[in-house]
Amino acid sequence: MKKRWSIANPLLIQTVVLLSLLILAATPVVAFVQAPATLLDRILARGYILVGTCGDYKPFTYLDPDTKEFSGVDIDMANELGKALGVETRFVKTTWPTLMDDFHEGRFDIGMGGISVNLGRQKTGFFSIHYLKDGKTPITLKENVDKFQTLKQIDQPGVRVIVNPGGTNERFARAHIKKAEIVVYEDNVTIFDQIVQGKADLMITDAVETVLQQKLRPQLAAVHPDQPFTYSEKGYLMPRDVVLKAFVDQWLHLSLMDGTFQKIYDNWLK
């Protein structure tokens, strides 16, 4: 005959009590285990977000040498991001040659200011969804537009192609310019004046920048900005924190959909 177990069985009671004690002993440990704070958590806790920006790339970011204040499309967007987070926005000056070093050293939480998405940067960081499509195209004196339509026309002996160091403009020029002279010029704010003054023949840069610069300097003309040599996208650079990226992506998506970004962009392109 099989032995029957009942609640009155001492062995069963002992087993149930032991299991209950083990569960109760483990419960406080589980209850107090917390996941490590994400970067988003730390930003919210300290009350401000650090935005790295170069300050030399109109219309996205510009640092006024007199007032020491930043302005531009992405500066306005950075302030909008701060509002969405409910924190203060603080800007950290960086440069194109030192952008990724400053990023890896944690000098800022997010990079904003016309930063092009590329695979080299993507290897060690996250980018937000893109907010603008762009590409490399020339800008030159109005009378020279027909002379510099193609890379073959540009890459000729005697042609001077000016570049700012450390960014995608220099990398593009060095990858495609073999016969023409590459002139490196440090100041990305006054670099277009070098073309006006006849010290360089053209610059190859992002199409959106050429459109703005031809408005600021009537002597210059963007060369087929609607059909650039390359395709690229602009996004916001972040560390590998999926929680921060998810928030920034959704905030940016809503800003694109509700017209916030377009209104800011149009204001700076006028």
Q: Per-residue pLDDT for 149 more than 50?
A: yes
What pLDDT, in 10s, does the model give residues 184-202? Answer: 999 988 999 999 999 999 9
Confidence label for 19 from pLDDT (cuts 50, 70 and 90): low
Domain boundaries, the chain: 39-133+232-269, 136-222
Higher per-residue pLDDT: 30 or 137: 137
Q: What b-and-e string marks burial along 97-109, b requiring 16 or more CB atoms within 10 Å of the CB? A: eebbebbeeeebb
Q: Are 81 and 91 in contact (CB under 8 A)?
A: no
Give the pLDDT confidence score for residue 31 in this predicted structure. 45
Half-sphere exposure (Cβ direction) of 21: Cα atoms closer than 13 Å = 6
CATH number belonging to the domain at 136-222, selected among 2.40.30.10, 3.40.190.10, 3.50.30.20, 3.30.750.24: 3.40.190.10
Under 8 Å between Cβ of 216 and 270: no
**Residue 214 in this model has a pLDDT that exceeds 80:** yes
User: What confidence score (pLDDT) does residue 23 get?
Assistant: 52
Contact 109, 39 (CB under 8 A): yes
Distances in Å between the alpha carbon of 153 and those of 156, 202, 227? 6, 12, 16
The phi, psi pair for 38, rounded to 5°, reads: -80, 170
d(CA 184, CA 80): 35
Confidence at residue 36, expressed as pLDDT on a 0 to 100 scale: 72
pLDDT band at 270 (very low <50, low <70, confident <90, very high): confident
Note the pTM of the prediction, 2 decimals: 0.79
- Over range 145-169, report the average pLDDT: 96
Query: How far is C-alpha 260 from the geometric centre of its chain's CA atoms?
Result: 18
pLDDT band at 43 (very low <50, low <70, confident <90, very high): very high
Helix (H) or strand (E) holding 132: strand 132-134
Q: How far is CA 233 from CA 65, 127, 130, 208, 230, in A?
A: 29, 10, 6, 11, 10
Q: Do domains 39-133+232-269 and 136-222 have the same CATH topology?
A: yes
* 10 pLDDT more than 80: no
| Least confidently predicted of 23-32, 154-163, 236-245 | 23-32
Q: Which CATH number fits domain 39-133+232-269: 3.10.450.50, 3.40.190.10, 3.40.50.300, 3.40.1350.10?
A: 3.40.190.10
Asked if 142 and 220 touch (Cβ cutoff 8 Å), the reply is yes
Q: Which of 20-24, 195-199, 218-222 has the lowest mean pLDDT?
A: 20-24
Tokens representing 55 are 């300050």
For CA atoms 125, 244, 113, 135, the dihedral sign is: positive
The answer to whether 235 touches 117, Cβ cutoff 8 Å, is yes
Task: Give Cα separations from 95 to 17, 57, 92, 115, 133 (angstroms).
Answer: 66, 10, 10, 11, 22
Average pLDDT, the chain: 90
In the DSSP assignment, the letter for residue 232 is E
Q: Is 220 exposed, middle or buried (0-12, 13-18, 19+ CB in 10 A)?
A: buried
